[in-house]
Each structure stands twice: as structure tokens, then as C-alpha cells.
């Protein structure tokens, strides 16, 4: 556990307790409990709450993150799989990768962190969940006030006429699916690098961020823009940032409260 509370930095931080029970560890656990209480108090007090999530929230459901040692981008190249150029060059390779990920995600289940966020939506009148995740696990947990900033992996969309189908239960057997309306090439409904985010999702989340008095940032490295602007927008407009992550992120230096723990352990404790 580290206690980082520089004079100019009012942020508090909590790291998960380690095994053993030296007096120093007991002090750390106590301090951790105080930080969690402080987060609970902030959440209780806030009227307009934005939750901003990334791949880390689904890690405990068995869905891999993108960056870091076990991340997808450590094994697969984003340039070859997650750009419009990559798809135009080799659509069947890109589809193979997305089928593999659809299969994996289909077998995953929402975890306690997804359910805690759903519970928060029920408690707060003014609430928005802005997720960067394409896995739809928040929706499967019951979240309704949600925008999917980077799309949804189960949507298949025509590149030509934009006809869309949702293939949740099973994928088309075609190697590269063709549009049944216009015979155009179909692609996964996610946002690749260099592509604009869905306009309604971006507008709605940016507008909400400007009036939110609290943003809870969960499991994101905070390096992919424009989504990563959201916590900064909240802060610029006078709101607070609570962050839950197993590692420090690009957002941590700006967080009022940083809780260094797995989302599935902490969110149920700070919500409700």
C-alpha cells in the first residue's frame, strides 16, 4: 500500500491489503478502510454520477484487456486487426479475430463490478454509464442508462448501406459476411483506430460530464482519445474523480480518490 498525499495533492489512495498482520499492515488496512468510507461518502452525496469504464472491469469475467503484459495488443497487432485499412486489406483475417473474441465474450458472465454499477443506476436519478467496452457485459448485467463509446462487438454492419444485425447467439457461417440487402461487405460494429466515435454516444457523454458532480473511473488505462477526455471534463467543471484500477493509469494523477484494487472487489463495497 502506498500513502501518497502530497500537500498540493488532496487525493487519497488505497491499495488492497496484503497477507500477514504486522502493525504496519494493520495501519494500512485501517487507512484503506478510511479511503473506502470516503469514496462511499462522495458517492452517496453526489447527485449526478458518471461512470466511465474500460477493459479492466471485465478482466474478472475472463475477458482480456488490451494493454500491458497479458493484453491483446501484446499478442496481436492493432495495425493488422483494428483499423479500417487492416479490414480492407484482409477482411477474413479480421473476421477470424473478431469471431474468436465473440466466442470468448459470449461465454463470459458479468461480474460483481458490472452489477454494482447497475445498482448505482437504480439509486441515482441522474446517472450515465459511458463504457469503452465492446463486450456488452454491462447490458447483460442490466444497465440501461449506458452509451457504448467504441461500439458493440455483437453488431454486424454493412459497410455500404449501414444495414445492421445483432448476432448474439451465433455468427454467420460465411467467412466474410455479405449484406443481405445490398451484398456489400459486413464488418463488426466496433470503433477502430482513426474512426469517429458514434456521434450520439460522444455527445451524450460529453454533455453529461460537464454537469456531473462525480465520475467513477474503472479499469481503463485512460490513453485512448477522445473517450479519455471524459474524467478531465468532469474535473474542469468542478466535479470529483474516484478511480478504481489495479495499476496507476494516465488518470490517476488527477484522481481525488484512487483505489488500487480489482473492480469486482471494490465496487460492491463503495456503491449502495
DSSP letters for 183-246: -PBEEEEEPPTTSPPPHHHHHHHHHHHHH-SEEEEES----STTTTHHHHHHHHTT-EEEEE-S
**Active-site residue 114, yes or no?**
no
Q: Does 163 bind Zn ion (CB under 5 A)?
A: yes
Partner touching 221 among ligand BJW, Zn ion, none, CB below 5 to 8 Å by kind: ligand BJW
d(CA 137, CA 75): 23
d(CA 118, CA 245): 19
Grid cell 482519445 is found at 225
Site size toward ligand BJW (CB under 6 A) is 33
Binder among 8, 22, 169, 196 for ligand BJW (CB under 6 A): 196
Instruction: Kindly report the backbone phi and psi dihedral angles of residue 143, in degrees, each rounded to the nearest multiple of 5, phi listed first.
Output: -60, 135
Instruction: Kindly report the backbone phi and psi dihedral angles of residue 79, in degrees, each rounded to the nearest multiple of 5, phi listed first.
Output: -65, -30
Partner touching 161 among ligand BJW, Zn ion, none, CB below 5 to 8 Å by kind: Zn ion
Q: Does 181 bind Zn ion (CB under 5 A)?
A: yes
Answer yes or no: are the C-beta atoms of 113 and 99 closer than 8 Å.
no
Distances (CA, A) of 235 to 41, 128, 194, 229, 260: 18, 16, 27, 10, 20
CB of 187 to Zn ion, least distance (A): 11
d(CA 35, CA 2): 12
- For ligand BJW, the closer CB: 81 or 158: 81
Q: Does 100 bind ligand BJW (CB under 6 A)?
A: no
Q: Does 235 bind ligand BJW (CB under 6 A)?
A: no
Q: Does 27 bind Zn ion (CB under 5 A)?
A: no
Q: Does 179 bind ligand BJW (CB under 6 A)?
A: no
Binder among 16, 71, 93, 211 for ligand BJW (CB under 6 A): 71
Q: Does 156 bind ligand BJW (CB under 6 A)?
A: no
Answer yes or no: are the C-beta atoms of 52 and 117 closer than 8 Å.
no
Catalytic residue among 114, 138, 150, 254: 150
Binder among 245, 252, 254, 259 for ligand BJW (CB under 6 A): 245
CB of 87 to Zn ion, least distance (A): 15
135's CB contacts (< 8 A; 6+ apart) are: 58, 61, 63, 105, 108, 153
Binder among 156, 205, 220, 252 for ligand BJW (CB under 6 A): 220
Neighbours of 132 (CB within 10 A): 24
Partner touching 246 among ligand BJW, Zn ion, none, CB below 5 to 8 Å by kind: ligand BJW
d(CA 136, CA 8): 39
Active site residues: 150
Give contact residues for Zn ion (rule: CB under 5 A).
158, 160-161, 163, 179, 181-182, 184
Give contact residues for ligand BJW (rule: CB under 6 A).
54-56, 59-60, 65-67, 71, 82, 132, 134, 150, 190-191, 193-196, 219-221, 223-226, 244-247, 249, 262-263
Amino acid at each position: 500500500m502506498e500513502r501518497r498525499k502530497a500537500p498540493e495533492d488532496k487525493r487519497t489512495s488505497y491499495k488492497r491489503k496484503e497477507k500477514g498482520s504486522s502493525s504496519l499492515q494493520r495501519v494500512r488496512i485501517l487507512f484503506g478502510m478510511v479511503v473506502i468510507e470516503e469514496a462511499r461518502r462522495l458517492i452517496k452525496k453526489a447527485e449526478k454520477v458518471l461512470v466511465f469504464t474500460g477493459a479492466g472491469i471485465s478482466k474478472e469475467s475472463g475477458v482480456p484487456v488490451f494493454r500491458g503484459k497479458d493484453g491483446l495488443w501484446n499478442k496481436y497487432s492493432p495495425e493488422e486487426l483494428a483499423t479500417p485499412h487492416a479490414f480492407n486489406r484482409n477482411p477474413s483475417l479480421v473476421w477470424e479475430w473478431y469471431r474468436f473474441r465473440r466466442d470468448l465474450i459470449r461465454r463470459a458472465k458479468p461480474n460483481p463490478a458490472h452489477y454494482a454499477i447497475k445498482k448505482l443506476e437504480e439509486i441515482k436519478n441522474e446517472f450515465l454509464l459511458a463504457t469503452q467496452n465492446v463486450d456488452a457485459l454491462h447490458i447483460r448485467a442490466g444497465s440501461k442508462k449506458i452509451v457504448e463509446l467504441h461500439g458493440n462487438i455483437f453488431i454486424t454492419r454493412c459497410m455500404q448501406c449501414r444495414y445492421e444485425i445483432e448476432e448474439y447467439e451465433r455468427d454467420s457461417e460465411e467467412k466474410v459476411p455479405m449484406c443481405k440487402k445490398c451484398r456489400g461487405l459486413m464488418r463488426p460494429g466496433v470503433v477502430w483506430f482513426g474512426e469517429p466515435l458514434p456521434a450520439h454516444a460522444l455527445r451524450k457523454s460529453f454533455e453529461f460530464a460537464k454537469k456531473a458532480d462525480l465520475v467513477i473511473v474503472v479499469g481503463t488505462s485512460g490513453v485512448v482519445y477522445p473517450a479519455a477526455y471524459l474524467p478531465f471534463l468532469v474535473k474542469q467543471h468542478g466535479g470529483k474523480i474516484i478511480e478504481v484500477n489495479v495499476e496507476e493509469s494516465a488518470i490517476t494523477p488527477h484522481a481525488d480518490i484512487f483505489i488500487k484494487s480489482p473492480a469486482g472487489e471494490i465496487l460492491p463495497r463503495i456503491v449502495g
